[in-house]
Amino acid sequence: MTRPGIDKYKDIYQPEDIPSSKPPPEPSRNKFLKIGAFLILAVLLIGGPAYYYVSQRGISWFADDKDSIQVEKGKEIIAVQQLVKEGKLVRALDVIQTLYTLHPDNAEYVSTGAWVHFKMENYRRALKLSEKAVKLDPGRARDHAILGASRLFFKQYKPALETSLKAIQLDPDQSLAYLTIGEIYLKENDPKRALPALKQAGRLDSDNARVWTRLSSAFIKLEQWDKAQLSAERALELAPDTPGVHFNLAMIYYKKQQGQQAVEHMQRAEDLYGQAGQLEWAGKARQNKDLIIRKFKLRPEDIIP
């Protein structure tokens, strides 16, 4: 059933073609020997029982006195998935990190660890774990998709494309893989090839603001301004504090000769990029804003209500 409010966007993603005084110090050698002996003893006294407990009883991890997490043995992955669903990513990471550290050859734990790190935008860790996951079990489409998307973040475009295609081969409904392919083509300045993949990503995951932002970017490159605006507006509904959405809207309004709206969105983009520490893009937004102000001969009273 189609959800209210989304009908006006449907034609965007319909099929076409597919984060002092002290005692004298001991001799150094004696000191280090004592420290080393103490550490070994600590590991034996604490590490062994801890490992036994976790391996036999599951994980019982307390965040604080009021909100505790009890994870029953055998249901750790379910608990991690629920924590992610509730937006408790740090807690989910604490649980899964314990699991894949204790069991480094467990494909399910490693795979889930890669997924949680990717959700948290820890792309370097996601890359390492997803690489390991596909070696442990080459048949998991999600691991290939995460590997491809992580490689894209580090500008490894060719292997990112190959891995994403593999993910689609294993599971044609892997929306992340289509999104990665579309983003690769956008970075290669080929919006026509990007568009089918981005549309497919939109069909499979219509509530993903990143997809809609990339769609608007593709339409901008193709100078299809109405579709670009619809896509950007949908992204804005889903994630109003995404700087790229405001940047795109500013460009669209600029092309449509709506200077005041263009300046407002470009200022918002500049602010959000700055808050995110993306100084290069904040600078680009500021330059574009100044250009727009000059272009439309705007005065402060025209910009500030």
> In this predicted model, which residue has the larger pLDDT, 26 or 114?
114
188 and 216 in a common domain: no
Report phi then psi at 159, rounded to 5.
-65, -30
The answer to whether residue 36 sits within a structural domain is: no
CB 150 within 8 A of CB 138: no
231 and 278 in a common domain: yes
> In angstroms, rounded to a whole number, what is the distance separating the alpha carbons of residues 200 and 173?
9
User: Quick one: pLDDT at residue 68?
Assistant: 52
219 and 269 in a common domain: yes
249 and 277 in a common domain: yes
Q: How far is CA 2 from CA 7, 205, 235, in A?
A: 7, 14, 18
Q: Write out the DSSP string of the chain.
A: -PPTT-GGGGGGSS-S------PPPPPHHHHHHHHHHHHHHHIIIIIHHHHHHHHHH--EEESSSSSEEE--TT-HHHHHHHHHHTT-HHHHHHHHHHHHHH-TT-HHHHHHHHHHHHHTT-HHHHHHHHHHHHHH-TT-HHHHHHHHHHHHHTT-HHHHHHHHHHHHHH-TT-HHHHHHHHHHHHHTT-HHHHHHHHHHHHHH-TT-HHHHHHHHHHHHHTT-HHHHHHHHHHHHHH-TT-HHHHHHHHHHHHHTT-HHHHHHHHHHHHHHHHHTT-HHHHHHHHHHHHHHHHHTT--HHHH--
The answer to whether residue 30 sits within a structural domain is: no
Confidence band (pLDDT; 50, 70, 90) for 155?
very high
Confidence band (pLDDT; 50, 70, 90) for 292?
very high
Instruction: Tell which of 205, 226, 242 closes a domain.
Output: 205
161 and 113 in a common domain: no
Query: Using CA atoms in the order 186, 191, 194, 199, what is the torsion angle rounded to 10 degrees?
Result: 120
The answer to whether residue 40 sits within a structural domain is: no
100 and 179 in a common domain: no
Neighbours of 281 (CB within 10 A): 18
Query: How many residues are present in the chain?
Result: 305
> In this predicted model, which residue has the larger pLDDT, 145 or 75?
145
Average pLDDT, the chain: 85
Tens-digit pLDDT profile for residues 116-128 = 999 999 999 999 9
Instruction: Tell which of 153, 188, 205 closes a domain.
Output: 205
User: Quick one: pLDDT at residue 65?
Assistant: 40
Q: What is the radius of gyration, based on Cα positions, of the chain? A: 25
Confidence band (pLDDT; 50, 70, 90) for 13?
very low
User: Quick one: pLDDT at residue 19?
Assistant: 33
214 and 197 in a common domain: no
Q: How many domains does the chain have?
A: 3
> In angstroms, rounded to a whole number, what is the distance separating the alpha carbons of residues 80 and 94?
9
The answer to whether residue 185 sits within a structural domain is: yes
Tens-digit pLDDT profile for residues 65-74 = 445 566 667 7
Task: State what percent of residues in the chain have pLDDT above 90.
Answer: 73
300 and 229 in a common domain: yes
CB 79 within 8 A of CB 95: yes
285 and 229 in a common domain: yes
User: Quick one: pLDDT at residue 54?
Assistant: 43
The answer to whether residue 23 sits within a structural domain is: no
**Domain span holding position 293:** 209-305
298 and 261 in a common domain: yes
Neighbours of 207 (CB within 10 A): 13
CATH number at residue 143: 1.25.40.10
- Does position 161 have pLDDT exceeding 70, yes or no? yes
Instruction: Tell which of 170, 188, 205 closes a domain.
Output: 205
What is the mean pLDDT of the segment spanning 222-232? 97
What is the mean pLDDT of the segment spanning 185-197? 97
CB 106 within 8 A of CB 100: yes
- In which region does residue 87 sit, left (phi positive, over 0), alpha (psi from -120 to 50) or beta (all else)? left
The answer to whether residue 6 sits within a structural domain is: no
188 and 277 in a common domain: no
249 and 295 in a common domain: yes
The answer to whether residue 82 sits within a structural domain is: yes
The answer to whether residue 53 sits within a structural domain is: no
